[in-house]
Structure 1
Amino acid sequence: MNDSPGWATPGSSPSEGERPGAPAEQPQPPAQPADAPKWSAEQPPPGQWQSPAPGQNPPPAPQGGGWGGYPPQPPPYGGPQGGQYGYPGGPGHWGQPPAAKPGVIPLRPLGLGEILDGAVATMRAHWRSVLPITLVVATVVQVISLLVQKLVMEDIVVSLDRGNVSPEQLLSTMGNAFAASAAAQFLQSLGGIIVTAMLTMIFSKAVLGQHSSVSQAWRDARPQLLRLVGLTLSLGIGLILLGTVIILPLALVGNAGLIVLGAFAALALLCWLWIKFLLASPALMLERGTVFKSFARSSKLVKGSWWRIFGITLLTLIITAIFAAIIVLPLQMIGFSVFGDGLGSMQDPLAATAWGPLVLTGIGAIIAQAVIMPIQSGVTVLLYVDQRIRREGLDLELARAAGVENYGG
């Protein structure tokens, strides 16, 4: 979708034998009775709008006119107009038709509710493609995390509980736990990259009202997977190094106040960069660009809308976190109640590594992640689409790709 479709202005076609621009035939006045009042022979010129005679087509719209012969409207995405945004079908333009909606979202700038609803609607309408991807990845990640907690963390808890472990043994145990946790985190990140890549393709088709199978999503995403891995690693390592450069010198000084101030400054900077490059992943997958070009595209799209994107992303994280807690916490409490010594054992580190609570907590986490990942990925993809509609008129290309006729007239 590189070339833009034409913009056709709708209007009524002239009747047969009538040339465009020709003046309409004026109706003849009826005969006046003899005692009727006499009117002056000089009448003011007729107005611009005249009623046609019965059976006669209305005159053609003036050249350069807009919808239905009214004066042309300003560009649809040029900013506020009289306090409202001028997108088709939006507030302030009651005379225009509603925006086309071939898929899960209308083809116009989106609001918060439409972005969240689009993500949920895609997951519901395309669950046969979405859930297998997220369930497989979430299951693999949670099984690995469960084994790490059971086999590695249990050794640390037992060693600390005994109290007679030498520093060398404790250091070795903690090193093994750190290595196992790092490996589990790496696999989790890799699974998240695969989910993001495939869900991006599914959501891009859902916007057009098209379905995408798991195999087709994999074929579409596979050429960009290595670049997506490079993008994710570059962003993660860059943020870690930046935070270390800010906090480490202050930590060496030893001033607690400076350390706290530096931590807040680093957190604010990392949050700003995170939102600035949030749209790099969908830009990489859908525009087929390079890693650095995708970072530049995200920066360009987010510019001027940072707070709006930050608010939508933060609200999405809060909603998904609440949903995860609703799913995981009851199963976790059941695990401690049935397989432990009651809810009071939740504070016992050794009881937390028992098989019963671990398995039930893992099941809850799998269910939660299978639902959370599509919503988070969907919101990011729809934010990317929304920003391109607002800035680049992407809705015209989407309408043409979806086969919407006469869109943009």
Structure 2
Amino acid sequence: MTQDMGWGPGAQGGPPGPPPGWGPGWGPGWGGAWMPPPPKPGVIPLRPLNLGDILGGSFAALGRHWKQLIGMALVAYGIAALVLGGAAAIAVASVHDHFDPVFNPDYDVNPARSDVEPLVIAGAIVVVVAIALWLLSMALMYSAVPAVLQDAVLGRRSTFGAVWRTSWSRFPAVLGTLAIQMGAMLAAMLLFIGLLVTTVLASSGAGHDAPPAALLVLFAVGFLALIPVGIWLWVRYGFAPAAAVLENQGPVEALRRSGRLVKDAWWRTCGILMLVGMISGVMGYFIQLPFTYGGVFAAMPLALSDDSHGAKAAAVVIMVVLYLIGMVISQFLSTTLPQLGAGLLYIDQRIRREDLAPALATAAGVPPVPAGPAGTR
């Protein structure tokens, strides 16, 4: 319905004005009649969200429930750090005798293979353990954010215990969604690398010193093509953790659910997710910066005071501790803030496509939301 932009409340021929005594929150509704603004029991109004709602709601949820989120981050990353430290200590202890022959060999003497192989195997095991721990801790945080966001949207108070129970119960499903996505990308990368290695070996076996340049260019283009494919998959399945937690979906169904919600809204979803990610990245960088340089400046007097090993060791400890504090805060922001934005986008798509707002209003105990046109995007 086309409406004259010059119409105002009570103008002749325009929609009726608000009842006497009502404040400035009133505005023209879906049918042209004046109606109250949508309720806002929590961090967002219960209506289709715009960019400002999503950004403001993400920061508001982080500000109101930071204790629960930081508690979950300390559990996730703290346990991961302890396990990784233990694995690294065991690896170093098991191959300690091979360090000197490899890193301090005699002049013009190459390290023996029997000394190099144990170090490579131990390092590979530590890397695999680190990747597995990173995936597990990320899955736990991705389970916690929707649990917190549910209370933040409804305006309810949350406790660490309640968030932990919800997160732990949905942790396997969220871990499954992340593992499927990472497995698909890893399989594509391994297939591409396998084809490249096979081609190079075949060219060498045929007597060529190097594979044809055109073939190398083709492989380079194929490798670059994996980047947009990865971005497309990241956006398409970005709502899977929220669906797994808030709808009790299994891993595969959560991925399908995310794909259905992102359909016909991919570019909007991509733009907002990238914007929130960039904001969190910039914030994390500027937060980590003073800790990094502060550690350097704080440790410099100790490092320059004398030649004692104790002073230098204390300088190193100060730099490492301050750097790790900044890194933990930065990692916390880069993990939680984008997921809060993704969760609000998930709720926004359900409000637009499935008229979720009345159900949210009922759950929050506030008056129902005026219904809008079906399929509003």
Structure 2 length-normalised TM? 0.73
Distance 1:167 1:121, change over 3 A: same
Taking the TM superposition and a 5 Å limit, the aligned residue runs for 1:256-267 are 256-267=216-227
2:333 corresponds to 1:371: yes
Partner amino acid, structure 1, of 2:335: M
Give the whole-Å Cα distance in 1 for the aligned partners of 2:252 and 2:235.
16
2:260 corresponds to 1:300: yes
Give the whole-Å Cα distance in 1 for the aligned partners of 2:327 and 2:163.
25
Larger deviation, residues 367-376 vs 314-323? 367-376
Q: Is the 8 A contact 2:351 2:357 kept in 1?
A: yes
Q: Is the 8 A contact 1:193 1:229 kept in 2?
A: yes
Partner amino acid, structure 1, of 2:347: V
Q: Is the 8 A contact 1:139 1:366 kept in 2?
A: no
| Aligned twin of 1:405 | 367
Distance 1:383 1:93, change over 3 A: farther
| Per-residue deviation, residues 43-90 of structure 1 (Å, max 9, x unmatched) | xxxxxxxxxxxxxxxxxxxxxxxx969xxxxxxxxxxxxxxxxxx878
Q: Is the 8 A contact 2:173 2:250 kept in 1?
A: yes
What 5-or-longer segments of structure 2 have no aligned partner?
1-14, 18-26, 201-214, 305-312, 372-377
Taking the TM superposition and a 5 Å limit, the aligned residue runs for 1:2-401 are 95-142=34-81, 162=104, 164-254=110-200, 255-339=215-299, 355-401=317-363
SS state at 1:397 partner: helix
Give the whole-Å Cα distance in 2 for the aligned partners of 1:287 and 1:316.
24
Distance 1:271 1:161, change over 3 A: same
Q: Is the 8 A contact 1:276 1:298 kept in 2?
A: yes
Structure 1 residue 384, shift from structure 2 partner: 0.7
SS state at 2:366 partner: coil
Distance 1:138 1:159, change over 3 A: farther
Distance 1:395 1:158, change over 3 A: farther
SS state at 2:256 partner: helix
Distance 1:188 1:68, change over 3 A: same
Structure 1 residue 142, shift from structure 2 partner: 4.7
Structure 1 residue 389, shift from structure 2 partner: 1.0
Give the whole-Å Cα distance in 1 for the aligned partners of 2:35 and 2:70.
39
| Per-residue deviation, residues 320-363 of structure 1 (Å, max 9, x unmatched) | 22222222233233444554779xxxxxxxx9x95443332211
| Per-residue deviation, residues 265-308 of structure 1 (Å, max 9, x unmatched) | 11221221121111111111111122221111111000111111
Structure 1 residue 262, shift from structure 2 partner: 1.1
Q: Is the 8 A contact 1:152 1:176 kept in 2?
A: yes
SS state at 1:106 partner: coil
| Per-residue deviation, residues 141-177 of structure 1 (Å, max 9, x unmatched) | 4556677789979x89988753653344233213212
SS state at 1:256 partner: helix
What 5-or-longer segments of structure 1 have no aligned partner?
1-66, 70-87, 343-350
Give the whole-Å Cα distance in 2 for the aligned partners of 1:159 and 1:328.
38
Q: Is the 8 A contact 1:150 1:355 kept in 2?
A: no
Partner amino acid, structure 2, of 1:282: A
SS state at 2:42 partner: coil
Q: Is the 8 A contact 2:38 2:370 kept in 1?
A: no
Give the whole-Å Cα distance in 2 for the aligned partners of 1:365 and 1:195.
16
| Per-residue deviation, residues 119-162 of structure 1 (Å, max 9, x unmatched) | 11011112332222223333444556677789979x89988753
SS state at 1:223 partner: helix
Q: RMSD of aligned C-alpha atoms?
A: 3.4
Between structure 1 and structure 2, the one with the greater Rg is 1
Partner amino acid, structure 1, of 2:366: V
Give the whole-Å Cα distance in 1 for the aligned partners of 2:229 and 2:187.
12
Distance 1:373 1:182, change over 3 A: same
SS state at 1:212 partner: coil
Q: Is the 8 A contact 1:143 1:362 kept in 2?
A: no
Structure 1 length-normalised TM? 0.68
Structure 1 residue 111, shift from structure 2 partner: 1.7
Give the whole-Å Cα distance in 2 for the aligned partners of 1:114 and 1:89.
20
Structure 1 residue 213, shift from structure 2 partner: 0.8
> Percent identity at matched positions?
28
SS state at 1:380 partner: helix
Give the whole-Å Cα distance in 1 for the aligned partners of 2:88 and 2:34.
62
